[in-house]
Structure 1
Amino acid sequence: MHQFFRPNGFNKILGMWGLAVALLMPATNQAQFGRVDFSEPGDFSESAILRGVKATQAQCAAAANTVWSATTSSGAECLKYWKAGFGDNPVKRAIVFFHGDVFVGVGKTSKNYLGMTNAQLQKNADEWAKKLGMPYIFMGRPGTHGSSGDHMQRRRIDESIIISTALDELKKRHGIEEWVVTGQSGGGHVTSSLITERSDIVCAIPTSAPSSPRIRWEMMGRTKDTTNYIDSYEPWKFIVKEKTNPTLRVFVLGNPDDKNVLWPSQTVMADALKKAQVPVQLLQGEGSGPDMHGLANSSRIVAGWCAKDLGTEEIVARASKGLKG
């Protein structure tokens, strides 16, 4: 099992820090409201996002498209995932995509998310596997898309530990040897975090990613993350070449004009990788939406190129012709 590095003294002060941070959290997410119960169809309501979802191992085992992620330091959660492009035999290499943050404010959750279904998510996975020509997985982050967990604690270290442990389980289940990991926005933060501890990643595409939540919130004039936590994980600080796969290539993809995740909080990851002598390329795309932030489709397209072992120069050349949304 892969073990993430916690900041100095973190384990000793975790209890006190957690209590202090809890007092700073929005009332909508206080523990007295309790997590909603896990259900196989998935709860795509804003209430589930705000309160979190609880699941037992038995519930997880009985549901479809689930993986039980039991960690040594971050609890256990039931993560939902949708796969396509897999046959009966073990798969050497698979692409896994992590979506962006679902919560952007009370009453502001996307209608597309609120109306989502398992069938739609499976159809989406089928389409992307066909388009990319590779085995493909869409994974729900803790507390979203029917997964148990608390989305209000995103970008903290536990989120990535839980997801990393789930990837270990999926490797065993499907015979996967190598991962191509990619993610948009908050999912890009997960992608950057996984680079710091996994040696089975051959391609990584953190996209519109707050690889430094701290730089992002400081540039926004804040004193803490938008989650109201001050202990977000800073993956760029923990890049160690010896922990990565010898063939790892990273493509940091974003829009310099992104108004949501500001450019320096993205490029800090590329700078850290270069310093550690890990092959990295900075790619620019045209983000969608009013904040020019959305590059989820481009993220997966670049992942497909890398997964098929296209040369780095070829990927850069293709990207220079335009990546949109």
Structure 2
Amino acid sequence: MPAHEDAFTNEAVVRGVKATAAQCASVPNAVWAQPEGASGECLRYWHAGLKEGANPRVLFFFSGDLLVQDTVVDKTYAGTTPARIQAVVDTVPQRFGVPYIFIGRPGTFGSSGAHKERRRAPEARLVSAAIDEIKRRHGIEEVAVAGLSGGGHVVASLLGYRSDVVCAVPTSAVSSPGLRMKLRGWSVDATGYSDSYEPMDHLDKARMNPGLRVFVLGDPADTNVPWAVQTALADRLRSLGVKAEVVQAEAVGPERHVIVSSALLIGALCTLNQTTEQIQQRAAKGLKG
């Protein structure tokens, strides 16, 4: 693994990062995530607003994909440092009034693993295992989860096997890689793999938190992830009797795809136990970016 405070590099995202549990133990704010019966990875995280000992409910966020093409990394990533990430994370409790954790998906933001294999089954399982370790470390009871694009796929996946998720905000989310492939006329996912994990095939209300609320957030004009791919998750959850709302926002960027501040806002309002009606009323006033 690279030095703890080094700037993140595009090369690491493209080629992947290897680490051992022993190496991970020496990295500040990192956990060794090892799903049962699977290989482990070292996932880094940043937090703000947590209390010593006990944190009843915390908002987690997962970023979107960094690989624009097979070897092309999002232009905003190069040169980002752990200190810069922490500075951004520190603003969330100040702005939204909730304790907050940002987890680097496998192969990104200093976490080990292969980002090229995102959306395959192991990715979300690794994130889930990391959440388990972080919960133990910080005395967290319930979690709220939000994620952008591929991070939204992680959110949708977590709904299939976690009972502690009380709020979920999949945002501009690839909630069904298979449906996106079909609508795009692709034979494989943008990752190049044909075996992407399909979160909607693994949803079971009996395994979910009884109080779970899901807010599917996106821009109908999104040209990266078709609107039907995003809203299919809400349709599926409703068919199971799970509380799921569709919330529209105005995304930023040429693809009308990036929605981060609004995802954090909706996630925070849910974390703070605002009613669904109150959240919808806030959304009706307009959400951008």
Q: Fold match, TM over 0.5? A: yes
Q: Does 1:262 align with 2:254?
A: no
Paired position in structure 2 for 1:132: 96
Percent pairwise identity? 47
Equivalent residue in structure 2 for 1:189, among 153, 163, 178: 153
How far does the alpha carbon of each residue in 1:230-264 deviate from its partner, in whole angstroms, 9 at most, with x for none? 11011112211111001000000011110001111
Q: Does 1:280 align with 2:229?
A: no
Q: Does 1:318 align with 2:277?
A: no
Q: Does 1:289 align with 2:253?
A: yes
How far does the alpha carbon of each residue in 1:216-238 deviate from its partner, in whole angstroms, 9 at most, with x for none? 12211111101111110111122
Query: How far is 1:59 from its partner?
Result: 1.0
Aligned AA (1:191): V
Secondary structure of the corresponding residue to residue 89 of structure 1: coil
Query: How far is 1:50 from its partner?
Result: 1.2
Q: Structure 1: which 5+ residue stretches go unaligned? A: 1-36
| Distance in 2 separating the partners of 1:50 and 1:107 | 6
**8 A Cα contact 1:253 1:299, kept in partner:** yes
**8 A Cα contact 2:58 2:142, kept in partner:** yes
**8 A Cα contact 1:237 1:272, kept in partner:** no
Aligned AA (1:128): V
Paired position in structure 2 for 1:160: 124
| Distance in 1 separating the partners of 2:206 and 2:121 | 21
Query: How far is 1:38 from its partner?
Result: 4.0
How far does the alpha carbon of each residue in 1:275-300 deviate from its partner, in whole angstroms, 9 at most, with x for none? 00000100011111000001111111
| Distance in 2 separating the partners of 1:225 and 1:316 | 33
Q: Does 1:251 align with 2:215?
A: yes
Q: Does 1:214 align with 2:178?
A: yes
- Name which one, 1 or 2, has greater alpha-carbon Rg: 1
Query: How far is 1:107 from its partner?
Result: 6.5
Paired position in structure 2 for 1:27: none
Q: Does 1:46 align with 2:10?
A: yes
**8 A Cα contact 2:60 2:101, kept in partner:** yes
| Distance in 1 separating the partners of 2:118 and 2:255 | 20
Q: Which structure carries more helix by proportion?
A: 1
Paired position in structure 1 for 2:115: 151
Paired position in structure 1 for 2:192: 228
Q: Which moved more, 1:41-50 or 1:105-114?
A: 105-114
**8 A Cα contact 1:42 1:146, kept in partner:** no
**8 A Cα contact 2:14 2:71, kept in partner:** no
Query: How far is 1:73 from its partner?
Result: 3.4
Paired position in structure 2 for 1:94: 58
Equivalent residue in structure 2 for 1:204, among 165, 168, 189: 168
Secondary structure of the corresponding residue to residue 178 of structure 1: strand
Paired position in structure 1 for 2:73: 109
**8 A Cα contact 2:14 2:73, kept in partner:** no
Query: How far is 1:106 from its partner?
Result: 5.6
| Distance in 2 separating the partners of 1:236 and 1:73 | 23
Q: Does 1:307 align with 2:271?
A: yes
| Distance in 1 separating the partners of 2:229 and 2:3 | 36
| Distance in 1 separating the partners of 2:261 and 2:123 | 23
Q: Does 1:118 align with 2:82?
A: yes
Give the TM-score, by structure 1 length: 0.87
| Distance in 2 separating the partners of 1:107 and 1:276 | 40
Query: How far is 1:65 from its partner?
Result: 1.4
Paired position in structure 2 for 1:32: none
Equivalent residue in structure 2 for 1:72, among 23, 31, 36: 36
